[in-house]
Amino acid sequence: MFKIPAAILVLSISAASAAPPAPITIVIHGGAGALERGRYSPEQEAAFKSKLAEALKSGYAVLESGGEAVDAVEAAILLMEDSPLFNAGKGAVFDAAGVNELDAAIMDGKNGQAGAIAGVTHVKNPIKLARAVMDHSRHVMMIGRGAEKFAKEQDIELVKRSYFFTEGRWQAYKKAKKKEKAEKKNDASSSLNFDSKYGTVGAVALDKNGNIAAGTSTGGLTLKRYGRVGDSPIVGAGTYASNRSCGVSATGTGEYFIRFTIARDICAEIEFNGKTAETAANKLIHDTLENAGGDGGVIVLTPSGDYALDFNTAGMFRGVKNGAIEKIAIYGDEE
């Protein structure tokens, strides 16, 4: 009887059992909220989808050329920060004092390194500064004037506050101020959120080496109080990445994402309970978050290429691209 050498047998079993490499993938979001059909004209819908497609293409091009996940995340978010369509960078909303205060974070799942910034008012691209904090400092988060001083040291572009002005956001601010004044006059409690659409942007990417990265950038909530920071720049709340589990970027009412560490808990469900991206996201968004009174959504991506784009609002600007799939959507009834 012919006997197969043990070494060959082991190699054969290993080859047969080895899983095929996961496809390079990028998922993005441009905010969730009251995005019922009819809110936007066909022309506006086309503009949103065109910019989402551009961001997907930019991030995917990095991955396709062999680049790292963290570079793809930064590239995709930069495109959305430079667009007035989203509540990040150029299109940021106005706070209670009529100022645009910006927050951002980025995390590399390969080594657990992260960088975050909050409350900056002159940084053209907050995601670049968050990346610089991660790569060129021993800190994780910098805020306000200190963060902007660091930006100067890193030659990151600073702009006048007027750069962030957009007429649509200014009108939303004035409408919110008027509503707040009326509520105070009637002894009603002020609403936390005056804009029923959260335009926060984010991206999660998987590169050819199986590394995950995630990033998020935002202008926060319309009429937020001075110094308020949401979940976007907080590691584990609105942004998280680990090669052991997944990458997450969130959008929604940040106070709830912070209280329940939504991003980290989604990844914990995957890492420790063996859940898929879809079931983990569903549990945290439609159970934990919704039952607490919070709304919003997440994009989730695992090192195996499993992904989810989940939200408990009427819609979420979102997209995914890998070798076989390219999808962009706005409303909840879109695939």
Active site residues: 200
Q: Cα–Cα distance between 223 and 238 in angstroms, integer?
A: 20
Q: Cα–Cα distance between 308 and 22 in angstroms, integer?
A: 15
10 Å Cβ neighbour count for 185?
A: 8
Give the residue among 302, 266, 309 at the shortest CA–CA distance from 284.
Answer: 266
Query: What is the separation of C-alpha 282 from the centre of its chain, rounded to a whole number of angstroms?
Result: 17
Give the residue among 71, 26, 16 at the shortest CA–CA distance from 52.
Answer: 26
Q: Cα–Cα distance between 198 and 46 in angstroms, integer?
A: 19
Give the residue among 158, 173, 167, 162 at the shortest CA–CA distance from 97.
Answer: 173
Long-range contacts of 266-273 (CB under 8 A, 24+ apart): 266/240, 266/298, 266/300, 267/240, 267/242, 270/245, 270/246, 270/302, 271/242, 271/244, 271/245, 271/246
